[in-house]
Amino acid sequence: MRPHQPSVTIAGWLIAGLFVRCANAKAGTVTATNITLGIISWYCFAPQLTLNGSHVVEGSLYPGLYNNQQISDGGYAVREYIMDLSVQLAVDQMNADPNVLPGIHVNIKRFSDCGSYYPSVGELWGGKTGGYASTVMATDIIDNHPDVVGVIAMQSSSTARYSAEVLSFAQIPMCSGSVGSPRLSNKPNYPYFYRTIDGAGIGEHFYQFLKLWNVGRVAFIYQKNTDLGYFVFLDMHAAMLRHKMNILGSYGTADPTDKFFMNYVADSLKRVFARYIIVIGNAVFSASVMNAVGQRNLTGPDFVYLGINRPKPGKNATLLYGPQYYSYIEGYVQIAGMANFDTKPFLDAKVQLTALTGYPLRSIDVDSNNIPHFIDCTNSMLRGFDKILRKTNQSAEALGRRQLNSMMNYTLFQNPGIDGVVASPLAFNDNGDIKLNDGACYFSGTAFDCHLFGSTDMDATKVTYRPGEHPVFNGGSSVPPPDGPPAAAQLILSINSTFGGIIFTLVVLGLGIAFALLSIIYAFRHKSFMKPVSGLEAVASLLGCVIIYSSLLTYLPVSDILMCKLRHSLFLLGLMFILTSLLFRNLLLFMIFCKKRGVKPQTLVFRVRVVHGIVALIGIATIAVWAALPSNFAVKRAGHSDLFYLTCIYASSSTFTTMTSYFFIMYLCLLPMIAILQRVKWEDFNESVLLGFSFIMIAVAYAIITFETKLRNMYYDVTFCLCVWTATTLFLILMFGTRVMQLAEQFKEEAMNKSRISKLKTRLAEKKESFFQRPSASSADVRRQQGGDGSTVKMPGVKKNPYRHKVLCNTVDACIYQVSTSKNSWSLWRAGQPELHHMSAKSWLSLNSNLKTACFTLSESTQFVAFENMVMIVCDGIAETRICESTNTQSTSTSMHQSTPPAHRKTSNLKKVMGSSICYRIRMEFENEGKALAFVKEVQSEISDIGMMKGII
């Protein structure tokens, strides 16, 4: 911007002379045409003034009091001087306006909120004189100056919080153009206070600029010992959090010259790569901070500093900090409620104040000294007085004696109905704060030259750059620098990530295995080899595995304290179920196998399970107490600059020691349990191998996890999940998998047996059909047709002698046979042990099995015919057939073929052998033809030995 440099004209000197006369005038007794407006300011910086209490009674602040260099250097004395001129200028304009307070003249009284001048005021004052302002000054205005209807105040926020509250209690309206603390936006506490400067919500205006520049990471340095610094910081901090900004650090200090503290701040900002830093405090504080960070190499093209105040010290910056200070503040961005520099009210005010001060004020000088703010404060208050008079039709005397002040809270001044110097139109919100566009200017590095480049709208929803303007940051670039190094990517073990997908798949697989095993155990729990793993303790071990698998799912969300508690608690709970179940299940088996006489197994089971339950409850209690304390858990960032992961860590504590001791004892108990299990001789119930494997597996998994814990790299949780899943799955396989394998072997064997029987049935059916289709006029013909390989045994008679018995077991232990008592039907295939019996005059053949015993009477007409691998026993005489059912149902019966041969087997060979009269037929099948011939020979031999029959045909 090009500074406007008007000359001091004759009109300017006339205005200055008029001001001198008004400034020296003392307000006398209130008349019907006079009211009094009070000015509160830092008059302790003016040595030429004399005070009576807090009231200025002698001296003046006349035009030309400070030269150009002093005004350029600034400071509290210059600001107090320019503010006083601004209010006086506005009062004079109102007095000259016949449309506002017609017939009423406004006088001015001045009050100091910091007492009288003293030489060291610049070093000792600090803007915190709330005690004096609330007791001496406020009491002075309320009690000793009843003609003061309202006040215009230039105070620090730390002081105004007291005086505004006291004056509100006395119903004296107060307007300020300098108090910026959001605390005073609280209308229940400050109902008569309003202001022409930003209050609550300033953080939203800052956020809009940061969003425009794609900034997501900020840090704060704030003045913690002042109302302005602390409450503006709270407002901004809340705004950044609402918009998900990453706050890298917040550093509050009362003294930026503290080398130790600023070294700490500098190291912290470098460590987190902070690039956008917001400075919150008054002008002197801001200047001190900028000098401190500049000396620590935290300024330059990579850094952007933003603030609510100009970083201008109370003294000459070159003399105080050195000429390099201006390079530190180059690119510094001030965001505050700024006036529109192009409006007629603003330009008029600049011309008039330039004439009064004799200093060529630039637009930014007018705004930075809050000249427009105090002019609008004065205009809005006087127009509010005019409004109340018109509304109530009361007299100026009633107004001047505070008789209308009960109706003068901030709402009276909310809509003055004019275009202000700061804002157009001039209006205030429900907090008593002005509705204002917040402007932004950057410091060029040439003295305190600040160029306005843009502003937000009143609702803080967008930023608009001025035509042809843009920000210029440190180093001369208009491109906002990045807000830090490239953002590190966060590794999240979600289902969509590689590692997360692997963990999720493994968990689903593990749970599937566990529930499948549980179903198998339940379905086949009655089988002998399944009984050791179908008890309550074994099911508890399986439940522990399910809990551990489920705990791995808690690693998929982002780590926080709740997830940390769930991860560790569920894992430890599952481990507790496994360890206690292993120990007490094997202890129960040992006690059952080695129990003393007279102790019932049911009693042992009950006692052991009661102890088991008590020990498990102790473990659950230790886990619950440890997990209930938030101090035992924390979330740590692990990784490096481009990739990081949030992992859980836990702190050592008495509850942690108790819990680890419990699990360590349970773990060590595995060793003596392995030793005592050596006395259990039954292999199906001896699980010493499982206990030994569990002992070693837990030790190996713990060693791996402990090693990873020391490294604390970003893949710690991945390693932990894989180790836990592997150990749990191996435990399941070793404990339950062997039983399932035995079950599978049994099914396989049964299937093979069924297959063998099916093949045998097919072969028998084929041989049967072949046998009956061959001619068989006589056994001799059969032998001739087959090359003499047939053999026939005829039983011509039976010897009468005592009971004799012979088992035919030399050839086969059992044979497969069918029986027919008619010409066309055959029984099912059966298996039985052949035996010969003789007693008295009767002889019979029995075929014995566990379930059935079939007896067949032998006579002289009985024939044994061997043909290939089959033997036919035919009885065509008077015979008797008995079939007896065995009562032995505990043994498993031999499988029988369910095949029936064709109904019609009418061949000539059968007719020759069997004749026309048939009592029964027995058809036996052997492994081969040799076995069949051997069986016939064995029958012949045994008949001869026991003398059952006279001969064999």
The lowest-confidence range among 1-15, 535-549, 578-592, 723-737 is 1-15
CATH 1.20.1070.10 fits 498-744, yes or no: yes
Going by C-beta distance under 8 Å and a sequence separation of 6 or more, which residues neighbour residue 62?
A: 16, 19, 20, 23
DSSP for 113-160 reads: SS-S--TTHHHH-TT--HHHIIIIIHHIIIII-TTEEEEEE---HHHH
Per-residue pLDDT band for 498 (boundaries 50, 70, 90) equals confident
Reference 156, options 136, 185, 133; nearest CA is: 133
Q: What is the DSSP letter of 904?
A: -
Cα 399 from Cα 393, distance rounded (Å): 11
Distances (CA, A) of 667 to 81, 582, 626, 698, 890: 83, 10, 19, 9, 44
Q: What is the pLDDT of residue 594?
A: 67
Residue pair 112/141 in contact by the 8 Å Cβ criterion: no
What pLDDT shows up at residue 193? 94
Per-residue pLDDT at 845 exceeds 50: yes
Q: Are 53 and 136 contacting, i.e. CB atoms less than 8 angstroms apart?
A: yes
Q: How far apart are CA 198 and CA 305, in angstroms?
A: 20
Q: Can you give the length of the chain in residues?
A: 953
Residues 252-277 have a mean pLDDT of: 91
Region 884-904: mean pLDDT is 33
How distant, in Å, are the alpha carbons of 166, 450, 465, 509, 648 from that of 550? 63, 62, 56, 11, 17
Residue with token string 């060291």: 120
Residue 898 confidence (pLDDT) above 90: no
425: preceding bond cis by omega (within 30 degrees) = yes
Ranking 169-173, 413-417, 813-817 by mean pLDDT, the lowest is 813-817
In angstroms, rounded to a whole number, what is the distance separating the alpha carbons of residues 169 and 152?
17
pLDDT score of 769 more than 80: no
Structure-token match 């013909």, residue found: 781
CB 74 within 8 A of CB 3: no
pLDDT-derived band of residue 707, with 50, 70 and 90 as boundaries? Answer: low
Note the pLDDT tens digit of each residue in 638-662: 776 677 778 787 777 888 888 888 8
The structural domains of the chain, with segments of one domain joined by +, span 33-197+359-413, 202-337+439-465, 498-744, 804-879+917-946
CB 106 within 8 A of CB 35: yes
Three-class SS state of 124: helix
Structure tokens at 411: 């709402």
Rounded to the nearest angstrom, the gap between the alpha carbon of residue 503 and the centroid of all alpha carbons in its chain is 17
pLDDT at 168 over 90: yes
Query: Is 27's pLDDT higher than 50?
Result: no
Query: For residue 4, what pLDDT band results from cuts at 50, 70 and 90?
Result: very low
Range with the lowest mean pLDDT among 398-402, 646-650, 889-893? 889-893
Does 33-197+359-413 carry CATH code 3.90.1150.10?
no
- Residue located via tokens 């045909």: 953
Whether the per-residue pLDDT at 5 is higher than 60: the answer is no
| Predicted local distance difference test score (pLDDT) of residue 7 | 33
List the end-to-end C-alpha distance of the chain, in Å, as a whole number: 141
Question: What is the reported pLDDT for 869?
Answer: 80
Residue 290 has pLDDT above 90, yes or no: yes
**Residues 431 and 199: beta-carbon distance below 8 Å:** yes
Q: Is the pLDDT of residue 295 over 90?
A: yes
Tell me 137's DSSP state: I
Contacts of 358 (CB under 8 A, 6+ apart): 8, 63, 64, 68
Task: Please give the mean pLDDT across all residues of the chain.
Answer: 79
Q: Is the pLDDT of residue 40 over 90?
A: yes
pLDDT of residue 441: 92
Between 556 and 1, name the one with better pLDDT: 556
State the pLDDT at residue 110. 93
Tokens of 91: 């009062």
The pLDDT tens digits of the residues spanning 304-348 come to: 999 998 898 878 888 889 999 999 999 999 998 887 777 888 888
User: Is the pLDDT at 761 greater than 80, yes or no?
Assistant: no
Mean predicted confidence (pLDDT) in 905-928: 57
CATH node for 804-879+917-946: 2.30.29.30
Q: Do domains 33-197+359-413 and 498-744 have the same CATH topology?
A: no
Q: What is the DSSP letter of 837?
A: E
* C-beta neighbour count of 13 within 10 angstroms: 15
Q: Does the structure show a pLDDT above 80 at 906? A: no
- Name residues whose C-beta falls within 8 Å of residue 344's C-beta, 6 or more positions apart in sequence: none
| pTM of the predicted protein model | 0.53
Query: Does 167 have pLDDT greater than 90?
Result: yes
Distance CA(896)–CA(821), nearest Å, equals: 19
* Four-point Cα dihedral 669, 671, 674, 677, nearest 10: -50
> Comparing C-alpha atoms, which of 334, 335, 367 is closest to residue 349?
367
Instruction: Provide the pLDDT confidence category of residue 525 given band limits of 50, 70 and 90.
Output: confident
What percent of the chain has a predicted confidence (pLDDT) above 90?
25
pLDDT (0 to 100) of residue 628: 86
> Which pLDDT band holds residue 714 (cuts at 50, 70, 90)?
low
Question: In CATH, what class is 202-337+439-465?
Answer: alpha beta
Angle 498-523/536-552 helices, nearest 10 degrees?
A: 170
Please, which pLDDT band fits residue 18 given cuts at 50, 70 and 90? very low
Answer whether residue 71 shows pLDDT above 90: no
The pLDDT value recorded for residue 883 is 34
CA 630 – CA 620 distance, rounded (Å):
18
What percent of the chain is modeled with pLDDT above 70?
82
pLDDT at residue 306, as a whole number: 95
- Give the range among 155-169, 446-460, 688-702 with minimum mean pLDDT: 688-702
Least Cα distance to 764 among 830, 824, 847, 812 occurs for 830
Distance separating alpha carbons of residues 629 and 377, to the nearest angstrom? 55
Q: What are the tokens at 413? A: 């001044």
Interval 298-308: pLDDT, tens: 999 999 999 99
Residues 6 or more apart from 733 whose CB is under 8 A from it?
A: none
91-132 pLDDT, tens digit per residue, is 998 999 889 999 899 999 999 988 888 888 877 777 777 788
Please check the confidence at residue 669 and state whether its pLDDT lies above 60.
yes
Tell the residue number behind the tokens 């210059």, with chain if given. 78
Confidence label for 775 from pLDDT (cuts 50, 70 and 90): very low
- Please name which of 947, 776, 752 lies closest in space to residue 870, comparing C-alpha atoms: 776
